[in-house]
C-alpha cells in the first residue's frame, strides 16, 4: 500500500463511521505565536478540543501537513523527517475509549482496510501514578479486541500521556499501537517504544478526560474528547516492510533525481547516503513551506529563517556530493508531481516555489564567497597562533554573521594546516540558542489554547482592521496571516507599497469608529458557498465544502473565521497601530494594540 492509498482508505473508513471530512489547514498556524509551524493534526483543532463548537459537528477526520523543526540536525539518518503527513480522527464530546479503540483495531486489522495480522499488533497504555490511576479501561477494551495480556504494556507519563497544552487545561492518557517488525529483540526488557526498531509505532489515541488545575490536581472532565494521529510515512514504511521511510515512494523519486544530478548511488556509501537523505527531506519540506497557502519566503526571522536553513543545508550537501550548479528547482518538480493531487496549492504556487529556490541558491553562493573572503582576511592572524587551532567563537562568528557553515570553515582550515575548536563552536552555538530561547519565551505568549479576554479582543480587532484596510487601500487587500499575543496583534496583508501616514491614521479612525458604535458580534454556520454569497470574506478556507463559521460585526464586517470573539465592539478599548512595515515582497505587516479607554 502506498501513501495515496493509505490517505484515501483512512478518510473513507472514518467517513463510513460517521465522521465529517474536514480540510487540513496551513503549515503556518494562524493566531498562534507559540510555534512556527503546524506540528500535528490536532494543532489546528485545539480550540474545538477545548470546547468551541466545530461547524462540521462532533466527529471529524482529515489529513494534515506538519513540520517539526527540533530534529533538523538529526535529519540524515534513516528515520528523521522535518515534514510529514498526519492522519487523524476526532471525537468532540461524542465517543470515547471503547469506540475509539475498536475503530482503530478494525482499521488496522480488517482485510478490507490495512489487514495487519493481529498477532503482529502490540499496544501500550498509561501505567498510572500518584495523581491519575492506571488506564485499565483501555487495556480491557484491547483485551476484548483480541490483544493478549502479554502484548499490552503499561508505561508512564513520558510515553502514554498527553497535555495539557499549557500549565492547566484538558489532558489525559493515551494508547499507542505498534507493529512487530519481526526483528530480534534487543534484550529481555525490549518492549514497544524501545529504540532498537523491533516495534514500529503507527498510531496514537489520546483520551482527554482530565482538567489539570492550577494547584496541580486532575479533575475529571464532563466533556471528554478523543484525538488520534497516524503518520503516513512511517505507517507506509511498515506496511511495505521497509526498514526506513526513505525506501518508500515518498522519497525514492527524489533520491533517484539526486543520483542523476550527483552521479552517486544511494546505498553505496553511508556518508553520501546521509547527504542524499538530507537533500531529499529538506527539498520536500522547503517546497511545502513555499507552496503553502500562507507560504513564506526565506528570511532571517521565524518561519523564513527555518526555510533558509533547510535550503542552504540542502545546497551544502549538494556540494558535498559534487553537484556544482543550481539544482533545487529540478528536485522541486519531483515533489510537485508526487504531491500535487492531495495538495493542489503546491501546483498553484509552482512558479513562485521554483523562483524562490533558485534565488536562495544564488544568495547562498554569494554568502559562501563572502565567508571565504572573510576567512582569507582572518587567515594571517589565525596562522600566527602556535596552537594551529581556530577558536570556536571565531568559527561561530563566521557562521552567525555570514551564514558560513562550520564544515566549510573546517575544510578551509585543513587546507592551511589548521583545525577548528569544535567544542568552543558548540558552546557559542548553545549560548546563542539559549538567548534565542529566552527571547522566544518572552515573545511567545498566548496561542490557540489561549482564549483570554485580551487575545479574544485582539482577534476581533483583526476583523475590523481587515475591513478598514480594504476600505482605505482597496479590495486587493487580503489577509496573509496573523499572530496574536496577549499584548498585541500582528496582521499581514497583500499591498504593493508602504502605507502613508494619512492612510494609517484613516484606518485607525475607521476601526475606532466601529468600536465606538458598540456593534454586536454574531455567528452563523453555513456552507462556504453560502458564506461567499452572503458577502463574507474567506481567503483561507475549506476545499471540500464543509460548514464554516461566519462572524458578522454589525453591518460593518462579515468574515469566515474560527473564533474566539467578543460579544460587542464596545469591549475592545482604543485601537492603535504601532508599526507598519514590509513583511515580504507585496506583503505589508501591521502591529497594533488595544489601549484602555
In the numeric block, the cell 540542502 is attached to 314
Q: Give the bridge partners for 548, in sequence order.
A: 526
Q: Which among 115, 93, 178, 175 has a CA at the least distance from the CA of 140?
A: 175
Between helix 136-145 and helix 97-109 the angle, nearest 10°, is 40
Residue 463 annotated as lining a ligand binding site = yes
Indicate if the alpha-carbon torsion angle 337, 342, 348, 350 is positive or negative.
negative
What contacts 5, CB < 8 A, 6 or more positions away?
none
Q: Number of H helices and number of E strands within the chain?
A: 18, 18
What contacts 549, CB < 8 A, 6 or more positions away?
55, 523, 524, 525, 560, 561, 562, 563
Q: Are strands 199-212 and 20-21 parallel, antiparallel or unpaired?
A: unpaired
Q: Which among 247, 254, 319 has a CA at the least distance from the CA of 283?
A: 254
Residue 272 sits at φ, ψ, to 5 deg, of: -65, -40
Q: Are strands 218-231 and 20-21 parallel, antiparallel or unpaired?
A: unpaired
How is 281-346 classified by DSSP, letter by letter?
Answer: HHHHHHHHHHTSTT-----SSHHHHHHHHHHHHHHHHHHHTT--S--HHHHHHHHHHHHTTT-HHH
Residue 459 annotated as lining a ligand binding site = yes
Helix or strand run (H / E) with residue 548: strand 547-553
Residue 445 buriedness (CB in 10 A; 0-12 / 13-18 / 19+):
middle
> SS in 3 state form for 131-169?
CCCCCHHHHHHHHHHCCCHHHEEEECHHHHEECCCCCCE
Residue 326 sits at φ, ψ, to 5 deg, of: -60, 135
Residue 260 buriedness (CB in 10 A; 0-12 / 13-18 / 19+):
exposed
Residue 373 annotated as lining a ligand binding site = no
Residue 432 annotated as lining a ligand binding site = no
Beta strand ranges found along 404-514 (DSSP E): 419-420, 479-484, 489-494
Range 541-566 burial, b when 16+ CB lie within 10 A, else e: bbeeebbbbbbbbeebbbbbbbbbbb
- Positions at the binding site: 459, 463, 561, 565
- Positions at the binding site for Zn(2+): 459, 463, 561, 565
Amino acid at each position: 500500500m502506498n501513501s495515496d492509498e493509505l490517505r484515501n482508505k483512512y478518510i473513507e473508513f472514518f467517513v463510513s463511521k460517521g465522521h465529517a471530512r474536514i480540510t487540513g489547514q496551513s503549515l503556518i498556524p494562524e493566531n498562534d505565536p507559540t510555534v512556527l509551524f503546524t506540528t500535528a493534526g490536532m494543532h489546528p483543532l485545539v480550540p474545538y478540543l477545548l470546547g468551541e463548537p466545530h461547524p462540521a459537528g462532533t466527529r471529524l477526520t482529515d489529513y494534515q501537513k506538519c513540520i517539526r523543526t527540533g530534529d533538523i540536525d538529526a535529519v540524515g539518518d534513516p528515520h528523521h523527517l522535518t515534514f510529514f503527513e498526519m492522519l487523524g480522527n476526532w471525537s468532540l464530546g461524542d465517543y470515547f475509549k471503547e469506540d475509539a479503540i475498536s475503530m482503530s483495531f478494525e482499521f488496522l486489522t480488517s482485510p478490507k482496510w490495512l489487514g495487519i495480522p493481529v498477532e503482529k499488533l502490540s499496544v501500550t497504555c498509561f501505567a498510572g501514578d500518584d495523581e491519575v490511576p492506571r488506564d485499565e479501561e483501555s487495556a480491557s477494551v484491547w483485551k476484548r479486541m483480541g490483544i493478549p495480556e502479554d502484548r499490552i504494556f503499561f508505561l508512564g507519563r513520558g510515553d502514554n500521556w498527553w497535555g495539557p497544552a499549557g500549565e492547566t487545561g484538558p489532558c489525559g492518557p493515551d494508547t499507542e499501537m505498534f507493529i512487530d517488525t519481526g526483528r530480534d529483540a534487543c534484550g529481555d526488557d525490549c518492549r514497544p517504544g524501545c529504540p532498537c526498531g523491533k516495534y514500529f509505532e503507527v498510531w496514537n489515541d489520546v483520551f482527554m478526560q482530565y482538567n489539570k488545575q492550577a494547584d496541580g490536581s486532575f479533575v475529571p472532565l464532563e466533556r471528554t474528547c478523543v484525538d488520534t494521529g497516524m503518520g503516513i510515512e512511517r505507517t507506509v514504511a511498515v506496511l511495505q516492510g521497509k526498514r526506513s521511510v526513505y525506501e518508500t515512494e515518498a522519497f525514492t523519486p527524489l533520491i533517484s533525481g539526486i543520483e542523476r544530478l550527483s552521479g552517486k548511488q544511494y546505498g553505496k556509501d553511508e556518508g553520501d547516503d546521509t547527504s542524499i537523505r538530507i537533500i531529499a527531506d529538506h527539498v520536500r519540506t522547503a517546497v511545502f513551506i513555499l507552496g503553502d497557502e500562507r507560504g513564506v519566503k526565506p528570511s532571517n526571522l521565524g518561519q523564513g529563517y527555518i526555510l533558509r536553513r533547510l535550503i542552504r543545508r540542502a545546497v551544502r550537501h549538494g556540494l558535498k556530493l559534487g553537484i556544482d550548479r543550481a539544482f533545487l528547482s529540478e528536485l522541486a518538480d519531483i515533489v510537485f508531481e508526487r504531491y500535487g493531487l492531495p495538495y493542489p496549492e503546491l501546483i498553484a504556487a509552482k512558479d513562485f516555489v521554483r523562483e524562490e529556490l533558485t534565488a536562495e541558491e544564488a544568495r547562498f553562493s554569494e554568502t559562501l564567497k563572502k565567508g571565504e573572503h572573510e576567512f582569507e582576511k582572518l587567515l594571517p592572524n589565525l596562522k600566527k597562533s602556535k596552537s594551529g587551532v581556530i577558536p570556536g567563537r571565531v568559527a561561530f562568528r563566521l557562521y552567525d554573521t555570514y551564514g558560513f557553515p562550520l564544515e566549510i570553515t573546517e575544510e578551509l582550515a585543513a587546507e592551511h594546516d589548521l583545525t577548528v575548536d569544535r567544542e568552543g563552536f558548540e558552546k557559542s552555538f548553545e549560548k546563542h540558542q539559549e538567548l534565542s530561547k529566552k527571547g522566544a519565551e518572552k515573545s511567545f505568549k498566548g496561542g490557540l489554547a489561549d482564549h483570554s479576554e485580551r487575545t479574544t479582543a485582539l482577534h476581533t480587532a483583526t476583523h475590523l482592521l481587515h475591513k478598514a484596510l480594504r476600505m482605505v487601500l482597496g479590495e486587493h487587500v487580503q489577509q496573509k496571516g496573523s499572530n496574536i499575543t496577549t499584548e498585541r496583534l500582528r496582521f499581514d496583508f497583500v499591498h504593493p507599497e508602504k502605507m502613508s501616514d494619512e492612510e494609517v491614521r484613516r484606518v485607525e479612525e475607521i476601526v475606532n469608529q466601529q468600536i465606538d458604535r458598540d456593534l454586536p458580534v454574531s455567528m452563523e454556520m453555513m456552507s462556504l458557498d453560502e458564506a461567499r454569497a452572503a458577502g463574507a470574506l474567506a481567503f483561507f478556507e475549506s476545499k471540500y465544502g464543509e460548514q464554516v463559521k461566519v462572524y458578522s460585526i454589525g453591518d460593518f464586517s462579515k468574515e469566515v473565521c474560527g473564533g474566539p470573539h467578543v460579544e460587542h465592539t464596545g469591549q475592545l478599548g482604543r485601537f492603535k497601530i504601532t508599526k507598519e512595515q514590509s513583511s515580504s515582497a507585496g506583503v505589508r505587516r501591521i502591529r497594533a494594540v488595544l489601549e484602555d479607554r
